[in-house]
Amino acid sequence: MKIVVLNTGRTTGAYLREGLAFYENRIRHYIPFEMIYLPEPRQLKTPAENLQKEAEGRILLRSLDRFDFPVLLDERGTRFNSTGFANYLQQAMNRGTRSMAFIIGGPYGFSEEIYKAVPNRISLSEMTFPHQLIRLILLEQLYRGLTIIRGEPYHHG
């Protein structure tokens, strides 16, 4: 199985890029992995929230058919502890999933079109995080989940 993280826009903070590179390299020791950065809508400088979500949604929709198991990161999604998340990954592998895509939206979340197109949703926390920081949190949890699956000592509890 290949895991993809589909992002809207680039990661701007150097500290975030460094952390992402660190976990990307670790994840690749276990499983094929790719970070994809979709372009932000160009025509919108300071758009209304709904227009921004719709424009980002159109870009995301063009990418979804490449993945057989897309998952939105959404505050209303299913919550797991780290062991539960590892089980979620393992179940996807056991089903023969070829490509699992975790989708991180922009600062305003997802359009209704995206919610209709992708029924699978998980939440990494009840707290709200900047969309660029959630990338790093997700990669750390992916790495942690893969070490749990392999029975390695990174995860302690």
Domain ranges for the chain: 2-150
CB 61 within 8 A of CB 113: yes
What band does 4 get if pLDDT is binned at 50, 70 and 90? Answer: very high
pLDDT tens digits, one per residue of 87-138? 999 999 999 999 999 999 988 889 999 999 999 999 999 998 988 999 999 9
CATH 3.90.78.10 fits 2-150, yes or no: no
Q: Give every CB contact of residue 4 below 8 A, 6+ residues apart in sequence.
A: 33, 34, 35, 36, 67, 99, 100, 101, 102
